[in-house]
């Protein structure tokens, strides 16, 4: 690799890092108005019309409904049987997750607000919940729509608070069951006590990081601050509720800070403290630099991004500008340094071929076979953003099969026009301008022209971004 990227490589690299993959139209637009102006547009998604894809998403019935309506229409199997509903309704909750998966893939492929969609995916993994856990079957739709999406490019503190109050997160990490050990529970109530799950993950995964400088005592004190943050109607029209009778009103000390406000304000003070803690700035900066630069990002860009986090009060738009405008972003050292996750690979393949997409079970199953069934990461860490998690013989074979099925129109729900694949040199320029490896060139030279598109999408150059 030369000491600097060519203009064509910069455009492709920029789009591969700030979208779910290049298209002929986006490359042309970046070349016409420039990278800086294109980034300006993407950082204001509310000004970008996305009517076409939103019409398709809105046709998915469950995406528009609240948790109460979802529970009523798609009840758990036992409730369905008690109501005498049809036999196939006993598996109805699966429809909610399936339509969430459809919406995510549709937006990844067709949204004009690509950077916003990337950040929605980023935060859904950072603040992960497991959509198949109990009531979260009915709560995840609202979590994605009403908690993550409105804050994806906003202030970190606002997103942190929104997730803390989210019924889906309260249920997933069991904080809705956490009460003061001294709380007076009704005689017929199930005995509950302090639950440290949320307090631990709030510090370890959501804010400070495992090496952020907190102790087990801090975890317990944070858990005490969030007692009483619970739910009304968890299996219905669920909503956040603070119940003073369940709250530990005693004094707490978190990271050396005395918390004495009492009531719900205890938790709010913790949110403010953690959102603005130096360890949080470093942890979020590291994760964002890992997403946009390299698995092991240079210390210099992490420090600059952390400085931006602190000076902008956690403003994501400002953070993104710092990272994308950095010399590290366009460094040849980090050109195609990231391995695409399954969603990124599938969406980029559909985008680069200009496929007419109608999401089907086959498309969704492919993502699961590649290792990323959407909304179904069980651990609170979400899906990892490291190459080592996505490179194995089985995973790579599945990607090759996906590419072959796509370009030969054997993939139900995705139709590729023959003319989109006719010019293999044009496709190569979109995948790897000026930088297709000798090994890839030899493979392409030895195969039939009709097989070239599938082989190109299976090549290492396309597996990376």
Q: What is the pTM of this model?
A: 0.95
Amino acid 97: pLDDT: 97
Average pLDDT over residues 138-155: 98
In this prediction, residue 423 has a pLDDT band, given cuts at 50, 70 and 90, of confident
Total Cβ atoms within 10 A of residue 239: 15
Short-list 146, 193, 139, CA closest to 170? 139
Q: Quickly list DSSP for 151-193.
A: GTTSBHHHHHHHHHT-HHHHHHTTGGG---TT----TTSPP--
Using CA atoms, how far apart are residues 329 and 36, in angstroms rounded to an integer? 13
Classify residue 87 as exposed, middle or buried by CB count within 10 Å of its CB (0-12, 13-18, 19+). exposed
Mean pLDDT of the chain, nearest integer = 94
Is the pLDDT confidence value at 89 over 60?
no
Amino acid 3: pLDDT: 79
Q: Which two tokens stand for residue 320?
A: 């993104």
Using CA atoms, how far apart are residues 387 and 341, in angstroms rounded to an integer? 8
Residue 11: which residues within 8 A CB-CB, separation 6 or more?
A: 27, 30, 31, 35
Average pLDDT over residues 358-377: 96
| Entry field: residues in the chain | 465
In this prediction, residue 2 has a pLDDT band, given cuts at 50, 70 and 90, of low
3-class DSSP assignment, residue 265: helix
Is the pLDDT confidence value at 440 over 70?
yes
Return the residue matching tokens 């790579």.
396
In percent, the amount of the chain with pLDDT more than 90 equals: 84
Over the stretch 113-140, which tens digit does the pLDDT of each residue have? 999 999 999 999 999 999 999 999 999 9
Burial call 162-185: b when 16+ CB within 10 Å, e when fewer: bbbbbbbbbbbbebbbbbbeebee
Short-list 157, 159, 143, CA closest to 63? 143
Amino acid 249: pLDDT: 94
Average pLDDT over residues 166-180: 97
What is the DSSP secondary structure assignment for residue 414, as one 8-state letter? E
- Let me know: does 229 contact 242? Beta carbons within 8 Å: yes
Average pLDDT over residues 93-103: 95
Amino acid 132: pLDDT: 96
Residue extents of the structural domains in the chain: 336-463
Classify residue 249 as exposed, middle or buried by CB count within 10 Å of its CB (0-12, 13-18, 19+). middle
Amino acid 203: pLDDT: 98
Using CA atoms, how far apart are residues 45 and 36, in angstroms rounded to an integer? 15
In this prediction, residue 215 has a pLDDT band, given cuts at 50, 70 and 90, of very high
Over the stretch 307-331, which tens digit does the pLDDT of each residue have? 999 999 999 999 999 999 999 999 9
Average pLDDT over residues 157-165: 98
- What is the distance, to the nearest Å, from the Cα of residue 34 to the centroid of all Cα atoms in its chain? 27
Over the stretch 384-401, which tens digit does the pLDDT of each residue have? 999 999 999 999 999 999
Angle between helices 342-352 and 424-431 (to 10 degrees): 140
């Amino acid at each position: 690799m030369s000491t600097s990227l060519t203009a064509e490589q910069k455009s492709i690299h920029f789009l591969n890092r700030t979208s779910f993959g290049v298209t002929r139209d986006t490359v042309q637009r970046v070349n016409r108005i420039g990278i800086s102006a294109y980034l300006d547009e993407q950082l204001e998604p509310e000004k970008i019309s996305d009517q076409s894809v939103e019409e398709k998403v809105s046709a998915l019935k469950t995406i528009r409904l609240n948790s109460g309506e979802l529970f009523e229409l798609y009840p758990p199997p036992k409730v369905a049987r008690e109501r005498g509903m049809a036999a196939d309704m006993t598996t109805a909750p699966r429809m909610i997750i399936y339509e969430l998966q459809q919406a995510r893939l549709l937006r990844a492929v067709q949204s004009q607000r690509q950077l916003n969609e990337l950040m929605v995916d980023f935060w859904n993994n950072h603040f992960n919940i497991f959509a198949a856990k109990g009531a979260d079957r009915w709560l995840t739709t609202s979590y994605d729509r009403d908690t993550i999406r409105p804050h994806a490019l906003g202030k970190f503190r606002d997103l942190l608070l929104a997730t803390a109050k989210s019924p889906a997160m309260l249920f997933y990490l069991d904080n809705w069951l956490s009460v003061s050990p001294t709380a007076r529970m009704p005689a017929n109530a199930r005995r509950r006590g302090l639950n440290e799950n949320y307090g631990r993950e709030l510090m370890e995964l959501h804010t400070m990081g495992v090496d952020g400088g907190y102790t087990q005592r801090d975890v317990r004190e944070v858990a005490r601050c969030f007692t009483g943050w619970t739910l009304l109607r968890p299996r219905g029209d669920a909503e956040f509720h603070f119940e003073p009778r369940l709250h530990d009103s005693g004094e707490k000390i978190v990271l050396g800070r005395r918390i004495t406000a009492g009531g719900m304000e205890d938790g709010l003070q913790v949110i403010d403290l953690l959102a603005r803690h130096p360890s949080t700035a470093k942890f979020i900066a590291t994760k964002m630099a890992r997403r946009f630069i390299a698995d092991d990002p240079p210390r210099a860009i992490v420090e600059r991004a952390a400085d931006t986090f602190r000076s902008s009060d956690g403003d994501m738009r400002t953070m993104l500008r710092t990272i994308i405008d950095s010399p590290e972003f366009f460094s040849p050292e980090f050109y195609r340094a990231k391995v695409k996750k399954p969603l990124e690979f599938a969406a980029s393949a559909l985008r680069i071929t200009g496929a007419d997409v109608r999401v089907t079970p086959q498309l969704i199953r492919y993502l699961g076979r590649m290792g990323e069934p959407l909304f179904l990461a069980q651990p609170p860490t979400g899906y990892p953003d490291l190459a080592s998690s996505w490179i194995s013989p089985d995973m790579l074979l599945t990607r090759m099969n996906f590419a072959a099925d796509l370009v030969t129109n054997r993939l139900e729900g995705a139709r590729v026009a023959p003319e989109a694949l006719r010019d293999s040199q044009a496709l190569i320029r979109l995948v790897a301008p000026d930088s297709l490896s000798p090994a890839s060139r030899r493979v392409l030279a030895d195969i039939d022209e009709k097989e070239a598109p599938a082989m190109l999408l299976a090549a290492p150059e396309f597996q990376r971004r």
